[in-house]
Amino acid sequence: MSEDVIISVRGLRNSFGEEVVHENLDLEMRRGEILGVVGGSGSGKSVLMRSIIGLQRPDEGDISIFGEEIDQASAERELDLRRKWGVLFQNGALFSTLTVAENVQVPLREFYKNIDEDLLDEIATYKVVMTGLSAEAAPKFPSELSGGMRKRAGLARALALDPTLLFLDEPTAGLDPIGAAAFDELIVELKQTLGLTVFLITHDLDTLYAICDRIAVIADKKVIATGTIEELLATDHPWIQEYFNGPRGRAAQGAAQG
C-alpha cells in the first residue's frame, strides 16, 4: 500500500439483522486531502465512519489506517493509533453536564492520565480558541451555546490530541449558510495549518464544491465512484447525475463559480 494512502477499506460488509448496509465496499483515502463522503439517506455513510474508527465491527472486510490493520493491532498499538485521529460526531455530541473545557479535556484525561490540571486547562482553552470561539466559551455548558458554537466546541475536543486525521460527520448540518461557510473556511484553515487529512461526511453541496479535494459516492451498498466533482459528473450513474445536476447542485456550482 502506498504511503500516500492513509485509509484503506477492502471488501467491507456491514449488516443489521437482515438489512445489508454495505457489501464489498472499497475505499482509499490519501494523505493530506479533504475527502467528502456522500450518499442517500440510509446509504451507510456514518456506519462506514464508525467501522473505520472501530465503533462498528463489520461482518467482513479489511480496514487499514496509517498502514496498519486495526483488527490485527495489539491493544497497546490500537491505543497509539487512536491518538492520531479525532472525531466530530453529528451535532457535536458534547457531554451536557460538562463545560466546554471539560469536554475538551475528556480525551486528554483518557490518554494522559497524569497530566497536570493547570496544563489541562491551558490546553483546553487553546483548543477552544483555535476553533474560533472566545476563551470565555471554555467555562460555559453546551446548553449555553448556539448550535454553531457547539459544533466548534465539538471540533475543539476532536483536536485535543493533536491528531493528523480528522473525521467530521455532517459538521454543517443545521447551520445557516453564513455559519456553514464560516465552518468550511475553518476546516480548510486548520487543514493547512495543522497538516490534517479530513474524512468529511456531508450532504451540503456548497461544502463539496468549496473545500473537498475528492468525493466518494456511496450507493448500491458500496462506493460507486471516487473523484473530483468534474470526474463524477462524467459518470452516468443516475444518483450522481440527479445529485450534482439537480436544482441544488446547479445552484452550488453557480455559487462556486461566482
Residue 176 within a domain: yes
Q: What is the CATH number of the domain that holds 248?
A: 3.40.50.300
Residue 9 within a domain: no
pLDDT tens digits in sequence order for the chain, 258 residues long: 556 999 999 999 999 999 999 999 999 999 999 999 999 988 999 999 999 998 889 999 999 999 888 777 777 777 788 889 999 988 778 999 999 999 999 999 988 888 899 999 999 999 999 999 999 999 999 999 998 899 999 999 999 999 999 999 999 998 999 999 999 999 999 999 999 999 999 989 999 999 999 999 999 999 999 999 999 999 999 999 988 887 666 666 666 666
At position 39, the amino acid (one-letter code) is G
Query: How confident is the model at residue 75, as a pLDDT?
Result: 73
**Into how many domains does the chain fold?**
1
Contact 102, 137 (CB under 8 A): no
Tell me the torsion sign for CA atoms 105, 108, 114, 115. negative
Residue 151 within a domain: yes
Alpha carbon distance 63, 81 (integer Å): 13
Query: How confident is the model at residue 254, as a pLDDT?
Result: 61
Task: Name the residue with cell 464544491.
Answer: 209
Residue 69 within a domain: no
Residue 23 within a domain: no
Contact 100, 128 (CB under 8 A): yes
Residue 8 within a domain: no
Query: How confident is the model at residue 251, as a pLDDT?
Result: 63
Alpha carbon distance 126, 160 (integer Å): 9
Domain that holds residue 223: 33-38+74-257
Residue 227 within a domain: yes
Query: How confident is the model at residue 134, as a pLDDT?
Result: 94
